[in-house]
Amino acid sequence: MLDTMTMYRDLGISKEVYEFGKEVEASLLDRFADIDRVAEYNQLKVVHAMQEARVSEGCFNYASGYGYNDMGRDTLEEVYAKTFHTEAALVRPQITCGTHALALALSANLRPGDELLSPVGKPYDTLEEVIGIRESKGSLAEYGVTYKQVDLLEDGTFDYENIRKAINEKTKLVTIQRSKGYQTRPSFSVSQIGELIAFVKEIKPDVICMVDNCYGEFVETIEPSDVGADMIVGSLIKNPGGGLAPIGGYIAGTESCIENCAYRLTSPGLGKEVGASLGVMQSFYQGFFLSPTVVAGALKGAIFAANIYEKLGFPVIPNGTESRHDIIQAVTLGSAEGVIAFCKGIQAAAPVDSYVSPEPWAMPGYDSDVIMAAGAFVQGSSIELSADGPIKPPYAVYFQGGLTWAHAKFGILRSLEELVRKGLVTLP
């Protein structure tokens, strides 16, 4: 006889926390069924792209050196382009992370005298130094690229009036961050992003619209590239890597934009022709194949977290009933102690380094101490069970990932258990 409660007890979950979680889960079965339907559609979309691109066993072969005629690399980029319905794609282990992919896309398509516009407010913290909002060596500002932003309205919607005023003859590229980052604003649906792109293109048709798609891939049945984005950008240790990719990033978009990115990644004149895959292709292919179902598990975890903490009186974004547009769940705990306790609970639920106690530290690229909990198979992989947050007001923690729903559920219960033990939460 299966005794799940005993297993949870052995893993540090009290009966009270388990029963509270069980009650919340029972109320979410219809929503979970909707997530499974989206995952099924996206799974078929990926399979269709892989079949059209004629993926074969030879695509998994090791390639080294210059990487000329690396069939696995070239075919994988075709798979991404077909899945995201773009003209081309750049998918490389040489792209080290999401910030690198975004910096690459920006620097490749902007020139001195151009202006970059963010119509969705302040970008993610690590992009501030890329752009030059915070001074840093090699920033776009050092190369004569200017920056302008239009903040969101108080209700989290686009300020179309001021966006219109901000677009001028120098505006070359518009960057749209889909996910909230370390902010408590809503994440944007693909439909909302499409409306914004259409508005911008009506004013200046030749402007490049780039979407930071991190944390959003396969959450919906369409992507920003389906609604007019010239480039979508992401990290392979987030959604599209499916938990298997050990490194990497992607940029998918128009032929001209991707050609520019390839020349910046490698060298003018070489572009996509070089850059060996070094034996990671099977992980890249299989991770992408698994991504729709992995994302579904992470989404269930995010919705479960929202409902757990909302019932306990904490502000959560999105709330427990809102539609989902990324895998990130923000929970405002109101104190540094709360953020730290939450992250300690997530770490204690990890399959790797569960015995480690995370502490806030001055992480490169951020303007405050940050705490990160991630006992992951791939360092920093935020499609795996993880939580992090800056130690500054409003003291919000950002939970994401879980390669399976069962593990995401355990992580949330373990975070709650830690808060209960610290006397920061009282169960009803």
Q: What is the mean pLDDT of each successive set of 10 residues along the chain, which is 428 residues long? A: 85 96 97 98 98 98 95 98 98 97 98 98 91 94 98 95 98 96 85 98 98 98 98 98 98 98 97 96 98 98 98 96 95 96 97 95 81 93 94 94 97 98 95
Do 207 and 339 fall into the same domain? Answer: no
> What is the CA angle 163-169-171, rounded to 5?
55
- CATH code: domain of residue 19: 3.90.1150.60
Q: Is residue 47 in some structural domain?
A: no
Do 318 and 382 fall into the same domain? Answer: yes
**Total count of domains within the chain:** 2
Give residue 365's pLDDT. Answer: 67
State the DSSP code for 143: G
For residue 47, the tally of other CB atoms under 10 A from its CB is 14
Q: Is residue 55 in some structural domain?
A: no
Do 247 and 364 fall into the same domain? Answer: no
The whole-model pTM stands at 0.95
Residue that is last in its domain, among 256, 288, 320: 288
Per the CB < 8 A criterion, the answer to whether 213 and 234 are in contact is: yes
Tokens at residue 363, please?
């992480």
Do 121 and 142 fall into the same domain? Answer: yes
- CATH code: domain of residue 216: 3.40.640.10
CA–CA distance, 128 with 146 (Å, rounded to integer): 13
Q: Is residue 394 in some structural domain?
A: yes
Do 114 and 28 fall into the same domain? Answer: no
Taking alpha carbons only, the member of 103, 95, 134, 82 closest to residue 210 is 103
227 forms bridges with which residues in the sheet? none
Give residue 236's pLDDT. Answer: 98
Instruction: State the residue range of the domain holding 119.
Output: 61-288
Quickly tell me which residue has 């050196």 as its tokens.
65
Tokens at residue 364, please?
């490169």
Taking alpha carbons only, the member of 98, 104, 106 closest to residue 245 is 98
Do 119 and 160 fall into the same domain? Answer: yes
Burial 196-221 (b: 16+ CB within 10 A, else e): bbeebeeeeeebbbbbbbbbbbbbbe
CA–CA distance, 41 with 301 (Å, rounded to integer): 20
Residue that is last in its domain, among 259, 288, 317: 288
Do 244 and 159 fall into the same domain? Answer: yes
3-state SS of 164-217 is: HHHCCCCEEEEEEECCCCCCCCCCCCHHHHHHHHHHHHHHCCCCEEEEECCCCC
Q: Is residue 50 in some structural domain?
A: no
CA–CA distance, 24 with 274 (Å, rounded to integer): 51
State the DSSP code for 426: -
Give residue 1's pLDDT. Answer: 45
Residue that is last in its domain, among 288, 311, 326: 288
